Amino acid sequence: MREETLSKRIHLNAFKIAGVGHTAIGLWRHPDSQAHRYKDLSYWLETARTLEKGCFDSLFIADFPGLHDVYNQSSDAAFRDAIAVPLNDPLMAVSAMAAVTEHLGFGVTVSTTYEQPYSFARKMTTLDHLTNGRVGWNIVTSVTGSAARNLGLDRQVPHDERYAIADEFMDAVYKLWEGSWEDDAVVNDPARNMFVDPAKVHAANHHGKYFRVPDAFLCEPSVQRTPVLFQAGASSVGKAFAAKHAEAVFLVDPTVQGMAKLVSEIRALAGGLGRDPSSIKFMAGVSVVTAPSDEEARRKFDELIRYVSVEGTLARQSSLMQLDFGSIDIDRPLEFVETDGIRSFLERFTKGDPDRVWTPRQVAEKMAQSLGAITVVGSPATVADRLEAMMEEADLDGFNLYDHMPLHAMPDFVEHVVPELQRRGRVWTAYEGRTLRENIAGTGSPRLPADHAGAGFRPRSSIKRLHDAVAV
């Protein structure tokens, strides 16, 4: 293993949903499952404390603003197997979790397709204020037709147009977060009868194809101004979007080779836009089952896998790919078609491996045997070895660890694997930054870097002051 790889810190994030069934569909049936407690605040507080004890960068919370109702053209399978339903809002528990932690960050998923930039920017700035700069945003465009029908649209927006909407959405929120208020706009000066200097607050003046945001932002700047930007799209337009906007990319691929290809492609695209390719952090989705010995871990995995639902997994994949696997022969080869779903998921099993032909049934069985992601099973040393190897093979920066068994999987990882990774110098023993951006980027600054697209929306006076501060 290369010397420079050995010294590279592993960023750790936990991957959850504000509901019951997320990735390993059916595990809610396990007698030790605590997933049903998702609606109890104590569940979230215990999770946050555990993650901070393990020096995780963040808790990453997924979201789906609509029902999974593609399989058999019905949501029945989703309700039976709790596939992202019931599901709460991912933002609501963040401030409470921040109150019982000091360093843990929170990456929340919100769709650009069903939000308005003006109101959304205020929500995120409020959370960034209340957490002292520990908020990130997982930017998604949403795949479910149910979300479109219930959030004001007649039909799902086509895939590539969703990304066009997202790109304009980003321009609008950058104008609010980065450009509307200068750094010294808040003066809080009773002698001058002035709390905010109006000369240093500017209108967004955004008049685009999809959004109109003419006025100044309601919020004064938070510590980070723009939350840390996560993204997970791996289609051609998704990769271009990530290269422009993402600070951290969440990789969901069944092979290390596939992840390595994505990392290389997105870094190259980012470099072409004038960004430092190494500034983008890549986090791979993994499920870890661990115990003091390999034998115990394998027994634990075998027990868990008995509860995973193949049909539920197939129903989830139907929704994500927007293909009704309930109405076709699931033993026929899967072929790539243009859908409005997550195209990278479909590409993975139709174009990713030229030597392998997949059927829908095989896709579901593979996913059902992996707890939703690449699954690593073993003792602390075995798991650490595998994570280190994946880091080197795919040029990764860290991992999003799937919380397949809430209040069990993360405590096990923190108790067994984190000390081993710390012993190897791979995971820090104390947080080094104040904000989520400082902890993820390692730059010592809570602000977007100068080569990021969002930085171009800063007022000239603010850019100069920020440059002078960095120079000092």
- Give the CATH number for residue 10: 3.20.20.30
Q: How many residues does the chain have?
A: 472
Residue 61 lies in a domain: yes
Residue 110 lies in a domain: yes
Q: What is the 3-state secondary structure (H, E, C) of 93-161?
A: CHHHHHHCCCCCEEEEEEECCCCCHHHHHHHHHHHHHHCCCCEEEEEECCCCHHHHHHCCCCCCCCHHH
Query: For residue 472, what pLDDT is reported?
Result: 44
Cα–Cα dist 461/472, whole Å: 17
Residue 108 lies in a domain: yes
Inter-residue contact 248 to 230 (CB < 8 Å): yes
Cα–Cα dist 145/159, whole Å: 12
Cα–Cα dist 343/229, whole Å: 21
Query: For residue 341, what pLDDT is reported?
Result: 65
Query: For residue 178, what pLDDT is reported?
Result: 98
Cα–Cα dist 452/246, whole Å: 9
Looking up tokens 């397709």, which residue turns up? 113
Local mean pLDDT, 10-residue blocks, the chain (472 residues):
59 97 92 97 98 98 93 93 96 98 98 97 98 98 90 90 97 98 98 98 98 98 98 90 98 90 97 97 97 98 92 85 79 76 68 75 74 91 98 97 97 98 97 97 94 94 52 46
Both tokens of 101, joined, read 């932690």
Query: For residue 2, what pLDDT is reported?
Result: 37
Calculated CA dihedral for residues 329, 334, 338, 344, nearest 10 degrees? 130
Inter-residue contact 93 to 48 (CB < 8 Å): no
Give the total number of structural domains in the chain: 1
Distance from the Cα of residue 200 to its chain's centroid: 34
Query: For residue 4, what pLDDT is reported?
Result: 42
Both tokens of 187, joined, read 């003066």
Domain range for 282: 3-71+83-299+375-471
Residue 307 lies in a domain: no
Query: What single-letter DSSP state applies at residue 233?
Result: -
Query: For residue 6, what pLDDT is reported?
Result: 46
Query: For residue 144, what pLDDT is reported?
Result: 85
Residue 356 lies in a domain: no
Q: How many CA atoms lie within 13 A of 315 on its CB side?
A: 28
Residue 365 lies in a domain: no
Residue 337 lies in a domain: no
Residue 361 lies in a domain: no
User: What type of residue sits at position 231?
Assistant: Q
H or E stretch at 244 = helix 236-245
